[in-house]
Amino acid sequence: GQQLNQSPQSMFIQEGEDVSMNCTSSSIFNTWLWYKQDPGEGPVLLIALYKAGELTSNGRLTAQFGITRKDSFLNISASIPSDVGIYFCAGRTNFGNEKLTFGTGTRLTIIP
Amino acid sequence: GAGVSQTPSNKVTEKGKYVELRCDPISGHTALYWYRQSLGQGPEFLIYFQGTGAADDSGLPNDRFFAVRPEGSVSTLKIQRTERGDSAVYLCASSSRPGQGNTGELFFGEGSRLTVL
């Protein structure tokens, strides 16, 4: 099935550094979501975006819904060890109960 | 329960066997979704129920895969004549109907890891 393109595929950073990752699609979405997945767990929702151009924060996380509705960005400031994991973007065509299309994931590793 | 519950957490089977995976959604959630996640990939949509009916089954890869939700709560994903390529983590998610202060976002279970030998 279709998957959205995420970059980078993996990141190796030091604790305290800021992180940026993005997600692009060939088609338009009306909702963009960012999830984090830890090993052996299901994805957990971090941030949801519902309007083109919207910039939303959740603690140290900030995400933006691209103006073209074909991309989204996630930034993490001052990374801490518990930020380690895999981050997935997801898009949805319509507001409400409907399937999500996920990205390929960005694996974040913190170097001691 | 408090979250989405999936059983079994791990299932090892032989090629050609029949498998059932169960999902117990968050109480009161009307929508239920099945996704499949292969190693190193994001979750891929399989099927979505609104109540008892399958609202969208476009992600089921072939007719060996089938899912039911007879009473609008618990769902079972059924895989016939399993193949090695079916090995993956099968994730279930549920959501409430948008409105009344919620946006209908998905809450995922921990998944059922299926290994076909």
pLDDT band, residue B41 (cuts 50/70/90): very high
Specify the pLDDT at position A81: 95
Cα separation, B87 vs B117, in Å, equals: 9
Rounded to the nearest integer, the mean pLDDT of chain B is: 92
Specify the pLDDT at position B8: 97
- Positions of chain A with pLDDT lower than 50, given as ranges: none
CB proximity list for B115: less than 8 A, separation 6 or greater: B10, B11, B12, B13, B87
Among residues 66-95 of chain A, which lie with CB inside 8 Å of chain B?
88, 90, 95
What residues of chain B lie within 8 A of the CB of A90, using their CB?
42
What residues of chain B lie within 8 A of the CB of A44, using their CB?
108
- Give yes or no for B66 touching A (CB within 8 A): no
CB A92 within 8 A of CB A31: yes
CB A84 within 8 A of CB A108: yes
- Which of B97, B80, B62 lies closest to B18 in space, CA to CA? B80
Specify the pLDDT at position B38: 95
Alpha-carbon Rg for chain A in angstroms = 13
How close does chain A come to B18, measured CA to CA in Å?
Answer: 24
What residues of chain A lie within 8 A of the CB of B40, using their CB?
105
Note the maximum CA span of chain A: 42
- Which of A84, A85, A90, A83 lies closest to A104 in space, CA to CA? A90
- Which of A85, A35, A42 lies closest to A58 in space, CA to CA? A35
- Give yes or no for A23 touching B (CB within 8 A): no
Q: How far lies B102's CA from each of A28, A33, B91, B106, in Å?
A: 23, 15, 22, 11
CB B13 within 8 A of CB B83: no
Cβ A41–B110 below 8 Å, yes or no? yes
- Give yes or no for A59 touching B (CB within 8 A): no
Q: How many CB pairs under 8 A join A and B?
A: 68
Cα separation, A112 vs A4, in Å, equals: 31
* pLDDT surpassing 80 at residue B103: no
CA-CA-CA-CA torsion for A101, A80, A78, A62, nearest 10 degrees?
20
Specify the pLDDT at position B69: 96
What residues of chain B lie within 8 A of the CB of A88, using their CB?
42-43
DSSP A112: -
What residues of chain A lie within 8 A of the CB of B7, using their CB?
none
